[in-house]
Amino acid sequence: MSRCLLSSSNQRLIAAARPASQRCVHVAAGKGFGILKSPIKSKNYWNGREPLKMLPVTPMRPVPPEIKRPPYADSGKLPSVDRRPQVHTPEGLVKMRAACKLAAEVLNYAGTLVRPGVTTEEIDRAVHDMTVARGAYPSPLNYGKFPKSVCTSVNEVMCHGIPDGRPLQEGDIINIDVTVYLNGYHGDTSRTFYVGKPSANAQRLVEATEEALQAAIKLCGPGVPVSAIGAACADVAAKHKLTVVRDFIGHGVGTVFHAAPEVLHHRNTQPDKMQVNQTFTIEPIFVEGSNKVKMWKDDWTATTIDGGLAAQCEHTILITPNGHEILTVA
């Protein structure tokens, strides 16, 4: 689940100091909320596709009381970002591996459900049930009041889509972002799936995003600047004539959901260097057109302003003495 480089009107999204040019396009609460104050001229990418819209959301699903909860689970209060990197002891790594493996298994299962006619509400229910059946807490649930157990981002939604009753349609793409909290550790992963047969543009976008993730992972190792990740992603985006979304970033993850470092997916001068036994996510988002962000009034759903498709993929990475390990595999 990406961090966001802006604060919303009710502080549900994580704030970080950034130049205005790097912040999401966001409108204060009130009349016109969720609509651009000054529309940005851009190519129209809808191509006959109906724009998504907000639908009613069902209540949060219960979690059995015996399951260990993260600190925000009951209050819904958005925790501050831990500015320390997540560097683990050998005992902590055992738990971290288990959480990441479970996240990967849940994501794989969720992916088998993707087909025309299935709703994202149904996917959320399946993710929730599998997570709690395995003794874990679905990390997104009540994180800053997020109402569901998984993020489902369809078509023009960049990230943090809230599951609802809209049936998936032939030709859609959907990112499913799974995070589980198991024995005090978060495992975080996501992937973009095709609903039926994808268009050529959708397939190009998804494959390029996956290529960027793999290119960034290959660079990881002790002492490597975190900024190398952004350069790798930017190179892949340029090669495919796509655009990197700058406002949502990867992050340290482990005993807390969001920690240092800030993992930017565009060229940057981030000073941090990777450390042995450190874990963090890499989760680039590529779009067809403009990377300007339009926030819905739910304060979570982030969409493109021009109808361009968005694709994201994510792994949790461990830095090892000799390089790296992808933890979110099953």
The Cα–Cα gap between 264 and 162 comes to: 24
First to last CA, the chain: 19
Which three-class secondary structure state does DSSP give residue 210? helix
3-state SS string over 78-91? CCCCEEEECECCHH
Separation between Cα atoms, residue 34 and residue 170, nearest integer Å: 27
Reduced to 3 states (helix: H, G, I; strand: E, B; else coil), residue 44 is: coil
Residue type, 62: P
Residue ranges for the known binding site are 160, 177, 188, 251, 258, 283, 314
Pairing label, strands 279-282, 82-85? unpaired
pLDDT tens across the length of the chain (330 residues): 876 654 333 333 433 323 333 334 333 222 222 233 333 445 778 777 899 999 999 999 999 999 999 999 999 999 888 999 999 999 999 999 999 999 999 999 999 999 999 999 999 999 999 999 999 999 999 999 999 999 999 999 999 999 999 999 999 999 999 999 999 999 999 999 999 999 999 999 999 999 999 999 999 999 999 999 999 999 999 999 999 999 999 999 999 999 999 999 999 999 999 999 999 999 999 999 999 999 999 999 999 999 999 999 999 999 999 999 999 999
Q: Say what the pTM is.
A: 0.90
* Per-domain boundaries in the chain: 3-9+83-326
Please give the full DSSP string across 132-189, using - where no structure is assigned: HHTT-EETTTTGGG--SSSEEEETTEEE-PPP-SPBP-TT-EEEEEEEEEETTEEEEE
Instruction: Report how far residue 321's alpha carbon sits from residue 282's, in angstroms, rounded to the nearest whole number.
Output: 19
CA 311 to chain centre: 10
Q: What is the pLDDT of residue 329?
A: 98
Angle between helices 227-239 and 200-218 in degrees, nearest 10: 150
**Residue-level pLDDT at 42:** 55
Per the annotation, binding residues for a divalent metal cation are 177, 188, 251, 283, 314
- What Å distances lie between residue 284 and 20, 173, 267, CA to CA? 21, 16, 12
**Tokens read off for 143:** 């994180």
Query: Residue 250 has what pLDDT?
Result: 98
Please report the pLDDT score of residue 10 as a whole number.
33
In CATH, the number for domain 3-9+83-326 is: 3.90.230.10
**What backbone torsions phi and psi does residue 34 show, to the nearest 5 degrees?**
90, 0
Is residue 327 within 8 A of residue 279, CB to CB? The reply is: yes
190: Cβ–Cβ under 8 A, 6 or more apart, which residues? 1, 107, 151, 175, 176, 177, 178, 283, 312, 313, 314
CB of 253 within 8 A of CB of 86?
yes
The per-residue pLDDT for 24 is: 40
Nearest to 49 by CA among 187, 215, 195: 195
pLDDT at 48: 79
Which pLDDT score, from 0 to 100, does residue 47 have? 75
pLDDT for position 28:
28
Closest listed residue to residue 167, CA positions, set 156, 152, 179: 152
87: phi then psi, degrees, rounded to nearest 5:
-110, 125
Annotated binding site for substrate: 160, 258
